[in-house]
Amino acid sequence: MTDRNFTYGDRVQLTDNKGKLYSITLTSGAEWHTHKGMLKHDELVGLPEGSIVQTNGELKFQIFRPLLADYVLSMPRGATIVYPKDAAMILGIADIGPGIKVLEAGVGSGALSISILRAIGETGFLHSVEIRDDFAQISQNNVTSYFQQIPKNWKLTIGALQDQLFDADYDRVILDMLSPWDCVETASKALVPGGVLLSYVATTTQLSKIAEAIKDSGNFTEPESSETIVRGWHHEGLAVRPQHRMIGHTGFLIFARRMAPGVAVLPRRRRPSKGSYGVTE
């Protein structure tokens, strides 16, 4: 028996032969029931990951510890989660790694908070601000469940970001909210020179408004935006084709960096397209 074998308290993922996922937490004396028999939790303890188990009705499952994406997609939700594909891009584009100090606003269900906490490690710090008390409670429960404790380098504040006072000592500010343009000035005050502001928005209207707010502030580089679309593929022998279902549009990411205080941003030389700023009489 090794440290990687299952023990009581482990969250495990069961996958049937159709690819359907089930998640349970191993508890002494407990049973997990299906439409075709049941599994005793005690019988799973001590098994290594990648084992095959079956119910007393001979229904078989592969058993693994869930990956982060599996946990996020199955955890209780208040607000819509940041999907794993977007969380991965946020960590990459914002360059979030060990030792980074992050300010996050709009915590929702805590999916992005978990990804950030894993990325920054024990030497980093995450300050999450959530305006809704019910969302804050759900996110705290999900983060605590994932890490089996409240991380010591995580602070959760309930309230509006604009009402908080910050020193310019954060490396990154991540905004996931309905009106991020209202928080651009606060982000300017919170970020160190060279720090990253990244906002996650769902619609083109929001994207336009946050882009203009970033430009109008004069404190950031020219914002850049993108979206991430993931398409799976089916492969059976020579039958290789795109899957009919895909994770399409979930949101836009818009990114800019904090200029040094008092330094004007270098304007981009470009010709605006006709009609981009309305019709001139």
CA–centroid distance for 254 within its chain: 15
pLDDT in tens, 38-48: 999 999 999 99
Predicted confidence at residue 228, as pLDDT, reads: 92
CATH topology for 11-66 is: Vcp-like ATPase; Chain A, domain 2 (3.10.330)
Does 70 show up as a binding residue in the annotation? no
Predicted confidence at residue 273, as pLDDT, reads: 63
Domains 11-66 and 70-257 share a fold: no
Does 236 show up as a binding residue in the annotation? no
Predicted confidence at residue 81, as pLDDT, reads: 82
Does 31 show up as a binding residue in the annotation? no
Single pTM value for the model: 0.86
Q: Tell whether the torsion through CA atoms of 193, 155, 98 and 13 is positive or negative.
A: negative
Does 121 show up as a binding residue in the annotation? no
For the chain, give every domain's residue range: 11-66, 70-257
Predicted confidence at residue 118, as pLDDT, reads: 97
pLDDT in tens, 55-74: 988 899 999 999 998 888 88
Predicted confidence at residue 14, as pLDDT, reads: 93
| C-alpha to C-alpha distance for 223 and 93, rounded to whole angstroms | 12
Predicted confidence at residue 267, as pLDDT, reads: 79
Region 75-79: what's the mean pLDDT?
83
70-257: CATH, from 3.40.50.150, 3.40.718.10, 3.40.50.620, 3.30.70.20? 3.40.50.150
2 confidence band (pLDDT: 50, 70, 90):
very low
| C-alpha to C-alpha distance for 198 and 256, rounded to whole angstroms | 7
Does 256 show up as a binding residue in the annotation? no
Question: Coil, strand, or helix at residue 7?
Answer: coil
Residue 275 has pLDDT above 70, yes or no: no
Beta strand 60-64 pairing with 224-227 = unpaired
185 confidence band (pLDDT: 50, 70, 90):
very high
271 confidence band (pLDDT: 50, 70, 90):
low
- Residues in CB range of 26: below 8 A, 6 or more apart: 6, 7, 8, 9, 10, 11, 12, 41, 44, 45
Predicted confidence at residue 276, as pLDDT, reads: 61
Does 105 show up as a binding residue in the annotation? no
Residue 247 has pLDDT above 80, yes or no: no
* Beta-carbon count within 10 A of 256 CB: 25
* Beta-carbon count within 10 A of 107 CB: 29
What are the CB-based long-range contacts (under 8 Å, 24+) for 70-76? 70/13, 70/21, 70/23, 71/11, 71/23, 71/114, 71/146, 72/111, 72/114, 72/115, 74/21, 74/23, 75/109, 75/110, 75/111, 75/142, 75/145, 75/146, 76/109, 76/138, 76/141, 76/142
Predicted confidence at residue 121, as pLDDT, reads: 96
Residue 198 has pLDDT above 50, yes or no: yes
